[in-house]
Structure 1
Amino acid sequence: MSTRIGLLYPTRDCGEDDFADLCHRLDPALSLDFAYVQWSVDRVEELDTAGKTAAVRELGAPDRLTTAADEFATPPDVVSWACSSCSFTRGLAGAHEQAGALAGRLGVPASSTSLAYLAALDRLGLGRVALASVYHPDLTDVFAAFLAEAGVTTVHAVSADAASDRALAAWDAWQITDLVVAADHDDAPAVLLPETALHTTPLLAELEDRLGKPVLTATAVTLWDALDRAGATPVRDGLGTLFASGPRHAVA
């Protein structure tokens, strides 16, 4: 029987097709279902930076997540809160609280994109990173602080300050690649690209070949971590270091 992955997602019709694409490439038999967490505001992009951060933090409230989790069409085998910013703005303890609430509600392993980053970095033995952030610099700093709580040092970061999830869902390969290249740093053995609205699956191998190091995208780490927690991590070459059958790029 195939693994049933349940993803909680913040904004409908943004990056769901990228998750589906990666699932299909990993294993066409994988089952993927989405449930949507409701925003308390209609147009997040019209808020100032402080307002956006507050809205993102509110969206990640554990009770909002558990309410949304009740909407899955079929009970999943594993669940993840597939949003980077909404899972790191409450800090490391808050991220674990989110996962714990979901596990308690559904009775299955639970995680989030931010916790998935930590799991992936641990698996690869990485403690220093560069951030290719789509966020405002203030929110980028919040993610760096989240990583620091877990002992991960950010040696360099760039911030695109994109307007919204929907704007990011429309980014093309050139925009994504330019951001990753700008974030790269000699002292960082990996680059993180924390945004689940971006369409990164077709670029996984290309980005790593361009930089010669792991490039961990939000979509890839979320699915890798979910499958790993379900005991079903697939090995597929051509989809980046996490899924490779052997060390694709040296890590340090």
Structure 2
Amino acid sequence: MTTIGFVYPDHAAEDDYPLAEKLLGSGVRLPVAHIYGTDLHAIPELLDLGAPHRLAEGARLLAEHRPDAVVWACTSGSFVYGTQGAREQVAGLSEAAGGIPASSTSFAFTNAARAMGLGKVAVAASYPEDVATMFADFLGDAGIEVVAMSNHDIATAAEVGRMTPEAVADLISSQDQPDAEALLIPDTAMRTLALVNTLEDRLGKPVLTANQVTIWEGLRLTGATSTSETVGSLFRIPPAEAKVGGE
């Protein structure tokens, strides 16, 4: 049994994780621990949300599950620190969790993109422009070019979590660009797992969403070989065999 623990901010789309457990089968457990802060999509609040003491609390809550790896399931609360700061954040989470492998959703995006050989992407962000730009910069540091980026200025994660599946699909589909090799949706507050295959069929290209890549990253950290036909083209790549480069 492979157990991957996720530190998840507040409450919004955490039901993507039990859904993934069902889709991936009985060999994978994906427990979620919640930490709490202001869910505002604003830089000072996001820096506070990803602070070391908050992630350490998440690691403590996950300890009872004896995870093989742990992932900070928050994109904006990781990329807002910049690439080096996000590395330090992950190192601190690993230490708090007893030295097990750790990562975050921001690194999950860059690792997933590298595994798929993506060089040019479009981004459909729920965030305000200043926060969305920081995600584009984070991708750029990893050598991934953002050829188009939309920001929807949704103030809080709770508002994103209340979006209907139809609204999510429309938001994502409307942001496709012909020269983008894939479309990225960077918000773990958005329910997307059940929509990925449909969106990929509609757009004819890979779609990488926050909860999807976060779960895949956890599998990669544990050396899992699990694949699935139900969670997008990313999950057709055995995580343990992915070539992701350095973090």
Q: Does TM, scored on the shorter chain, surpass 0.5?
A: yes
Q: Following TM superposition, by how much is the alpha carbon of 1:245 offset from its aligned partner in structure 2, in angstroms?
A: 6.3
Aligned-pair CA distance for 1:24: 1.3
Aligned partners of 2:225 and 2:191: how far apart in 1? Answer: 21
> 1:31, CA displacement in angstroms?
1.5
Deviation at 1:160, TM superposition (A): 1.4
Query: What amino acid is the match of 2:61?
Result: E
**Structure 2 spans left out of the alignment, 5+ residues:** 239-247
How far off its partner does 1:90 sit? 0.3
Structure 2 counterpart of 1:193, from 185, 193, 198: 185
In the alignment, which residue of structure 1 is the partner of 2:54? Answer: 64
Instruction: Give the corresponding residue for 1:228.
Output: 220
Q: In the TM superposition, what whole-angstrom CA distance separates every residue of 1:160-213 from its partner, at most 9, and x where no partner exists? A: 111321111121122111111222111110000111111111111000011100
- 2:208 paired residue number: 216
Counterpart CA distance in 2 for 1:80 and 1:66 is: 12
Q: 1:231-250 residue pairs with structure 2 within 5 A? A: 231-244=223-236
Confirm or deny: 8 A CA contact 2:128 2:155 kept in the other structure. Answer: no
Counting aligned pairs with the same residue, the percent is 39
Specify every segment of 5 or more residues in structure 1 that has no aligned partner in the other structure, as ranges. Answer: 247-252
Q: CA separation in 1, counterparts of 2:27 and 2:144?
A: 35
1:157 and 2:134 correspond: no
Task: Give me the whole-angstrom Cα distance separating, in 2, the residues matched to 1:203 and 1:67.
Answer: 31
TM-score normalised to structure 2 length: 0.90
Q: Which moved more, 1:105-114 or 1:64-73?
A: 64-73
For residues 83-125 of structure 1, give each alpha carbon's deviation from its aligned partner in whole angstroms, at most 9, with x where no partner exists: 0100100011111111111112222110000000011011011
- Number of aligned positions between the proteins: 236
SS in structure 1 of the partner of residue 229 of structure 2? coil
Instruction: Say which of 34, 37, 41 aligns to 1:36.
Output: 34
User: What TM-score, normalized to structure 1?
Assistant: 0.89
For 2:53 and 2:141, the matched residues in 1 are separated by 24
